[in-house]
Chains A and B, each alone.
Chain A
């Protein structure tokens, strides 16, 4: 008996023999999972670090303090305020000249004038337009410095490299240093970034136009795609007969969700602009195209949410004599709503980040004015990022990163909203 026992292994021995291998497999699986997660987090952190490092400086802008003389001769030549044709550029130049009086000679003066942004004249204009009482006085005003000055102050232009290889001459750098020592230069919050439309001058370029464009587009998208998507999902899930026709519809919807987004842009160009003659570059058309893009996402998410409603609830309502429509609207829809909203917000996040389809319908245009309605020409945030990334000026590089930060902030906010909505609505039951 004892001999038999030793020759034939017991169940316990067999289990123990395999145990080591099983544990090792478990450990390897756990480790690889942890490594994968770690790499993911590492890249995310790296991405945010680089973005913040490059983009955060764009939220500040160098300003120049000038003593502006609101001379009545220039601004109100006939005793009447002439805001339209007055030479505000001349006023700014005179003020600059006053800061560095020893500069003479045409070309040197021209170099000096380049230190102030062209936006300085607009600012002087705005000040006097707002407060005509300043006429005839001299005021100390902070005006935006040119992008080159801004870059030097932020350390993006190296004074040590050869003069021919940089946008500022040795002379200009010398003047900037003297202005700085006199306390005439300062980094202030870059409000232009949030209050202006696009511009060829980096120091005047802002994302407000793109933000408003994106806002109008998303308004159109959510207003159309959510009701249509939810209605389609309810119909397909609850009312449509199961046959080859509904199978075909289902396959097509699933395929649409995987269609490259630029194809939707082509469709929008052909249908909305060429055939329906809607205006080009308009958020209305952009919204319609993004509606087509997000519809499949919302339909699929909504159908999944409807499917997840337990059948026992439907049966309970049916058993009480509720009609099919009552079952859907009293029970299924409220229970599926968090899932549907989550799907909608994910669809919206995707729509907010899309640029490819917008290129096809003309939203890539250079638009300076902030759009005020659904039909005004405009761009969108991702397109603005693309446009700026394409610009050669050094100052646009940091603004590109800044615009990406703003876009990401909106995306994070939307995803946060999705989480909060889901939590809050689920708590009710």
Chain B
């Protein structure tokens, strides 16, 4: 990793900034690498997203396996967050957004008419860039999902869910004596772990993370990354990140987006040590972004 960063700084001095849009068109729209995986759980086929006239995602095909961490990387505005929000239909709330193509979760089409987005989001949870606990107590934050979905039969069962979720998010030890205090009184890192606890309390099958550590300090980041390592034993995780180090640390596969195209997908080691596409190479060596 250090060697790579060093070459990046060296190259930055000499190379002029090329026109990357031209390059994408020139180098073709075909995604390089392995879009398929061994045990596909969530499959996106030829997904296109338009925001009004803006074509934000172009023909993206990507498979996400069971119990796999996939990192989406790319420069700002490349469509990685948009793609992530397609996976739990969060784009539905944006009026101008149009999604076409096909996304399936465990074989069922999530954009079919019969699919209720509410039920989908219980299966595909989401953690956001900025920690966004509800202005309620820590307990109520975690209990909210189970409550609205009716997951707990009685108070004792709800207590169990709340405690185990906080435990799994690595937060229980710090907060177990003050579950009644507002979630907003915690530190930034704790708040983000509270949000993760809140997400896993619903027991989803896939967790989407949209730059979960960008507002956190390195120590809190490290804790969240450790947490992801543990969580991927049970859940499929898709994480958007701006930090290539983070992508390298937590993911099994990396997908590189550029101007709405999915340029390259492959095993993390392969992408970072031997990128196939010129754009990918430029990005991870620090010449883009």
Contact = CB atoms under 8 A, between A and B. Distances in A.
Nearest to B116: A323
B27 interface: no
Given A315-B132, A320-B145, A323-B118, 18 more contacts: A242-B95, A310-B132, A313-B132, A313-B135, A315-B128, A316-B128, A316-B195, A318-B93, A318-B121, A319-B121, A319-B199, A320-B121, A320-B125, A321-B119, A321-B122, A321-B145, A322-B118, A322-B144
A315 B134 CA distance: 11
B134 A331 contact: yes
Contacts of A322: 118, 144, 148
Given A312-B130, A429-B182, A321 B148 contact: yes
Nearest to A320: B145
30 contacts: A310-B132, A312-B130, A313-B132, A313-B134, A313-B135, A314-B93, A315-B126, A316-B128, A316-B132, A316-B134, A316-B195, A317-B134, A318-B90, A318-B93, A319-B121, A320-B144, A320-B198, A320-B199, A321-B118, A321-B121, A321-B122, A321-B145, A321-B149, A322-B144, A322-B148, A326-B148, A330-B144, A330-B148, A331-B134, A429-B184
Contacts of A429: 135, 182, 184
A290 interface: no
Interface of B: 88, 90, 93, 95, 118-122, 125-128, 130, 132-135, 144-145, 148-149, 182, 184, 195, 198-199, 202
B149 A319 contact: no
Closest 6 CB pairs of A and B: A429-B135, A319-B126, A321-B121, A312-B132, A321-B122, A320-B145
A335 interface: yes
B130 to A, nearest CB: 6
Nearest to A314: B93
A312 B182 CA distance: 17
A393 B126 CA distance: 75
Secondary structure of the A side of the interface?
A: helix
Contacts of B130: 312
Contacts, number: 64
B93 A320 contact: no
Given A312-B128, A312-B132, A319 B90 contact: yes
Nearest to B184: A429
Contacts of B125: 319-320
B120 to A, nearest CB: 8
Nearest to B144: A320
A240 to B, nearest CB: 11
Contacts of B202: 320-321
Contacts of B127: 319
Contacts of A312: 128, 130, 132
Contacts of A317: 134, 144
Nearest to A323: B118
B242 to A, nearest CB: 19
Contacts of A335: 135
Contacts of B120: 321
Contacts of B126: 315, 319
Nearest to A316: B132
Nearest to A243: B95
A242 B184 CA distance: 33
A202 to B, nearest CB: 56
A5 B22 CA distance: 50
Contacts of A313: 132, 134-135
Contacts of B90: 315, 318-319
B128 A319 contact: yes
Contacts of A315: 90, 126, 128, 132
A361 to B, nearest CB: 43
Interface in A248-290: none
A329 to B, nearest CB: 11
A154 to B, nearest CB: 57
Nearest to B130: A312
A321 B202 CA distance: 9
A326 B145 CA distance: 11
A67 B127 CA distance: 87
A318 B117 CA distance: 9
Interface in A295-329: 310, 312-323, 326
Contacts of B132: 310, 312-313, 315-316
B84 to A, nearest CB: 11
A318 B90 CA distance: 8
A394 B198 CA distance: 72
Contacts of B133: 316
A313 B125 CA distance: 15
A368 B92 CA distance: 62
Contacts of B134: 313, 316-317, 331
Nearest to A309: B135
A323 B95 CA distance: 16
Contacts of B199: 319-320
Contacts of B144: 317, 320, 322, 330
A321 B132 CA distance: 15
B149 to A, nearest CB: 6
B45 to A, nearest CB: 24
Interface in A31-53: none
Given A335-B135, A429-B135, A320 B148 contact: yes
B201 to A, nearest CB: 9
Interface string A127-162: 000000000000000000000000000000000000
Contacts of B128: 312, 315-316, 319
Contacts of A310: 132
A310 B130 CA distance: 12
A335 B134 CA distance: 10
B105 to A, nearest CB: 14
Contacts of B184: 429
